[in-house]
Amino acid sequence: MFNSIKNLWFRDRAESRPYINDVAVRIRAGMLLLIPIYMGFTLYDVAYTSSWVVDSHTAVDTYETNWDEHIIYAVEATKRAYEYSTQTWVLLYALFEMLAGMFVFTARLSPTILISTLLAQRSPPIWKPLLPKRFAWTMGASFIIACLLYFNPDSFAEFINALFSQELLPTTENYMPFWIPNVLVWVCLVLMWMETVLGFCLGCQIHALLVRLGLIQEECEACNNIDWDAIAAKNNNQ
């Protein structure tokens, strides 16, 4: 346990190209999966449930019916006011987790990395390079930022307008289409589920493809089919 707390999920924190335990990564993805689930329910509530709050105690029978012979009632109703402070804090925490996992130093600040490392102690480690995961988490961070802008359009608009000293973005309406955060939340949900259950990291595969195409000038160690278990067995036999 001491070594887990000291090194977290890193094979060796002193390595110039850090390797992390993929078992712990998958456990962490399962923990963070709760965030897109929560955001998905939030967006569903906004899009598909009634935007009106009806006081059932004020319902009064008008003794009239509509064309379908349904009784018409007079009620007191108010428009729902959506307040996203809780969602904003949840997204900010998710953004912190994405950024914290990218570097050896900041990983110490992540509660989910510590917990997942401790939970992964009894399983044989599967070492994979941090670099592709860093690329995948950068994708996740960009999705989270887009969702933050959707839930806080006025704050971002005021910042941009003050920065450029002109009204570039409206402050009285949401200029981001609803489909953008809706799609991104479900994309995050699917990708994190694939990471947790299947051990498949789409961001890592995209990183490998970009390296092969020469668009990213980095070595793709995952593409070299390095079998760390075979190397460890060979070293033990020597």
Mean pLDDT of 59-76: 83
Is 97 within the bounds of a domain? yes
Strands 19-21 and 71-79: unpaired
Q: Mind listing the pLDDT tens digit for each residue in 187-199? A: 999 999 999 999 9
CA–CA dist 155, 39 (Å, integer): 20
Is 232 within the bounds of a domain? no
Is 127 within the bounds of a domain? yes
Domain extent for 104: 19-44+84-226
- pLDDT recorded at residue 149: 93
- pLDDT recorded at residue 228: 47
Is 219 within the bounds of a domain? yes
Is 98 within the bounds of a domain? yes
Take residue 12 and report the two structure tokens written for it: 């060796």
Is 66 within the bounds of a domain? no
Nearest to 43 by CA among 171, 174, 183: 183
Is 77 within the bounds of a domain? no
Is 1 within the bounds of a domain? no
Q: Is the pTM of this model over 0.85?
A: no
How many distinct structural domains can be found in the chain? 1
CA–CA dist 111, 94 (Å, integer): 12
Q: Mind listing the pLDDT tens digit for each residue in 10-63? A: 988 888 889 999 999 999 999 999 999 999 999 998 888 877 777 777 778 788
Helix (H, G, I), strand (E, B) or coil at 173: coil
- pLDDT recorded at residue 80: 75
